[in-house]
Amino acid sequence: MDNFYVIINESKDRELEITKQICEYLESQGKKCTLAQLDSTGYLIQEKIPPGIDCALVLGGDGTIIRASRELAPLEIPILGFNLGTLGYLAEVEIGDFKESLEKLFLGDFTIEKRMMLQGSINGKRPKTAINDIVITREGSLRIVNFDVYVNGILLNNYTADGIIVSTPTGSTGYNLSAGGPIVEPTANIVVMSPICSHALNTRSIVLSSDDVIEVEVGKERYGNVERMATTFDGSEPVSMETGDRIVISKSKKVTKLVRITEESFLKTMQTKMKGN
């Protein structure tokens, strides 16, 4: 790899000291380093991404890596995450080891791991993608909401809950885990659906095939009033929904390519990251 694209989170590297160290090291090794340009909302300016990028180096926490993965997936650019956050499940490199890690890239001592993504379309509109999860939750005051959930066109269940999480294996250690859902090996091709604070004793998470199509329809409020919801994709870009609206969720054709330079298993990484949590 010779041509690198560096995406930074300025809140994690305020003086850009770490960014400068990495770029200077890359250039000292005869590599090309391009800093990403962001618009006023913090998104990558797509037309400013140069052609021929071999790898994107993402400096930040999991949130930074997740955002970058959604923006770079259409370009199929592999991502190597540098952990400047806390847990950093998606980050492959601790910042103190950056030289050794980059040397492995130069030597071709790495693998590329493909992570599945989801897409969700609300009322037939243009779908949005997510690498972690798509979450449908209530807006406004605290109250339970009725959801009708269909799988491949067949009614699976009516849930009375605070919300519904539809998660990828990558996202299984996020909101899904907090809601009592299972942890899934991240390269698996499955989808996990977990109700949030369900008002039933026998309601559990459900593991589905990645080929299944999930539809969630917002029901009426208990007194017949219109219910208002918010749907988020990886915790951002909230889209309003209301009673009668339906979101169709399926596996995306896009994938996130994560660069792996260690042979440490997912279970070992999870044990290390979650120690004391």
Q: How far apart are CA 194 and CA 187, in angstroms?
A: 19
β-pairing verdict for 55-60 and 3-8: parallel
How is residue 255 written in tokens? 């994938």
Residue 10's Cβ-side half-sphere holds a number of Cα atoms within 13 Å equal to 6
Residue 65's Cβ-side half-sphere holds a number of Cα atoms within 13 Å equal to 29
Q: How far apart are CA 10 and CA 36, in angstroms?
A: 12
* Helices and strands: H and E segment counts in the chain: 5, 17
Which of the following is catalytic: 13, 39, 54, 62?
62
Cα-trace Rg, the chain: 20
* Catalytic (active site) residue 62: yes
Return the residue matching tokens 């406004």. Answer: 140
Q: How far apart are CA 171 and CA 249, in angstroms?
A: 15
How far CA 101 is from CA of 26, 250, 254, in Å, comes to: 12, 35, 27
For residue 81, give the nearest of 61, 111, 107 by alpha carbon: 61
Q: Which residues are catalytic?
A: 62
